[in-house]
Amino acid sequence: MNSVDLQALFDAQYQASRAQVNVPLLVRRERLLRMRKLLDEHSGTLAAAVEADFGVRSQRLTEVADMFVLRTLLSHTLKHLNRWSRPQKVRTPLYLQPASAMIQRQPLGVVGVIAPWNYPVQLALAPAITALAAGNRVMIKPSELTPHTSAQLGLLLAQFFAPDEVCVVQGDAAVAQAFSALPFDHLVFTGSTAVGRKVAQVAAANLTPTTLELGGKSPCIIDTSCDLQDAALKIAHGKLLNAGQTCIAPDYVLLPRGSEAAFADAYRAAVARLFPSIAGNQDYASIISPRHLARLRTMLQQAQTQGADVQNMDPAPGAMPDPAAAVQDGGTSRQMAPVLVFGATSGMQLMQEEIFGPILPVVSYERLDDAIAHINAGPRPLALYWFGANGSVRDDVLARTVSGGVSVNDTLMHIAHDNLPFGGVGDSGWGAYHGESGYLRFCHQKSVLVQSRWAMGSLFYPPYGQRFDQVMGLLRRWL
């Protein structure tokens, strides 16, 4: 798509948003119902497109990780939309009475969404759904790494929405950069921290507010009080869903020293339970591209060279190449076996970058203070996971660490709670959406004060004199 076409799409949405500033609740609900109809009628087509883009990724995985999440979001939003959209009355302080006041929630206008490739349906449509609920128009730029999904999204959304309501912009990184430079009323980006910085810089030229959903190294802390088998199963599920290509996947484990062998055994058993085989298993997704697979294998090769203990967790390791072996053929299924890495050091690439694959480093600690210090020494993560039965230790960890979100005795699940805001902090992003938090993210909260005919504001008018001093004296005593 060239810059002229891109600008024309934006101009159409911009003009429509200014022509209809007050979007009726009935219109918003009808748009959400159209989105629900799209998913009900075409989820299979979209899941097949995702499978084609990944090479190996079962449609059932896409159903639970993309479609189900969108359906729950739609249901929750439709249920609460009437309340969210109403003006919110606020109390008026004594010195301004008998005036009344409220906060009016209005659409921002045009919202841009730059979606990633890892959950290409969910992360394109979830912010769009919430933005539509708030009365906005939406432009979506899907990832060029999922061309089949992007094309289907473009076709289907064009069937269900007018271009000045919702539209899809397809293209490469140059198109994404031009998309970022449009003067949106709000821009949502989901992706890496490095690209997020570039998006924020480009958007800043237009004073476009942004929501950046990034990533980082999300830790799992295992406490001595935890059930190790239960923790290993939940960590394996969180790590290996979509083969680790999840922004809130556990990135590394902090484990009490001396528990290494027990954890390796528990993790191996958990992997075998979830994925009895890896090669050809449709529930175990491929790595998205040869380039991403090569990056992961380079990480492992470096770790091995520098003395790390790399343990293959594949239940049938003979069926697949060594996870650290060089990429031989970019046309293979790109399934990569789960791996535990013991003895990883801070100088290794896999401890410096978000992994985004099925590699799980394990870092041993002597005291809880050491684990917390390790987390706090790095950028603030998007997610943090704690496993244990000791409530006081749990509360200590929650109080002394900062992360975008937390699941206790589980992984990933906090993102599924519609009443919890989802977002990052620091290098893992800014701004949060989901539920009412997302609705407010895509609204302008306009302050409105309605003055009464009995207002006493003239008591504060000049010329100032004795009466003014008396009024101020009374107010100081009251405050």
3-state secondary structure of 422: strand
Separation of alpha carbons 275 and 267, rounded Å:
12
3-state secondary structure of 171: coil
pLDDT at 321: 64
Q: Domain 219-420 maps to which CATH number in 3.40.630.30, 3.90.960.10, 3.40.50.720, 3.40.309.10?
A: 3.40.309.10
Contact 145, 293 (CB under 8 A): no
Token pair 């979506």 in the structure block, residue:
140
Q: What is the mean pLDDT of each run of 10 residues along the chain (479 residues)?
A: 84 97 97 98 97 95 96 97 96 91 97 97 98 98 97 97 97 94 97 94 96 95 96 98 97 97 98 95 95 95 95 82 58 84 94 96 97 96 97 97 97 94 94 93 96 85 88 84
Residue type, 49: A
Instruction: Please state the separation of Cα 201 from the chain's center in Å.
Output: 20
Residue 212 backbone phi and psi in degrees, to 5: -110, 115
Cβ atoms < 10 Å from Cβ of 92: 16
Contact 382, 414 (CB under 8 A): no
For residue 295 the two structure tokens come to 């990056």
Angle between helix 25-54 and 68-85 (nearest 10): 160
Separation of alpha carbons 255 and 264, rounded Å:
11
Separation of alpha carbons 211 and 209, rounded Å:
7
Question: CA of 118: how far to CAs of 192, 266, 376, in Å?
Answer: 12, 28, 28
Angle between helix 391-400 and 368-376 (nearest 10): 20
Token pair 């410096």 in the structure block, residue:
352
Spell out a b/e string for 281-307, using b for 16 or more CB atoms within 10 Å of the CB, else e: bebbbbbbbeebbebbbebbbebeeee
Fill in the DSSP letter of residue 19. Answer: H
**Model pTM score:** 0.93
Residue 178 backbone class (left: φ over 0; alpha: ψ -120 to 50; beta: rest): alpha
Separation of alpha carbons 35 and 129, rounded Å:
8
Fill in the DSSP letter of residue 354. Answer: -
Domain boundaries, the chain: 3-214+430-444, 219-420
Angle between helix 122-133 and 68-85 (nearest 10): 10
* Residue 241: half-sphere exposure toward Cβ, Cα within 13 Å: 23
**Alpha-carbon torsion angle 245, 263, 298, 344, nearest 10:** 120
Could you confirm whether 220 is annotated as catalytic? no
- The closest alpha carbon to 147, from 61, 65, 50, 57, belongs to 50
Could you confirm whether 213 is annotated as catalytic? yes
Contact 407, 414 (CB under 8 A): yes
Residue type, 141: K
| DSSP annotation string for 246-259 | -TTS--EEEEETT-
Contact 406, 386 (CB under 8 A): yes
Q: What dotted CATH number matches 3-214+430-444?
A: 3.40.605.10
Contact 48, 58 (CB under 8 A): no
Find the catalytic residue in 51, 165, 167, 213: 213
pLDDT at 23: 97
- Reduce the secondary structure of 458-472 to three states and give it as a string: HHHCCCCCHHHHHHH
Find the catalytic residue in 51, 247, 354, 443: 247
pLDDT at 249: 97
For residue 58 the two structure tokens come to 């079962």
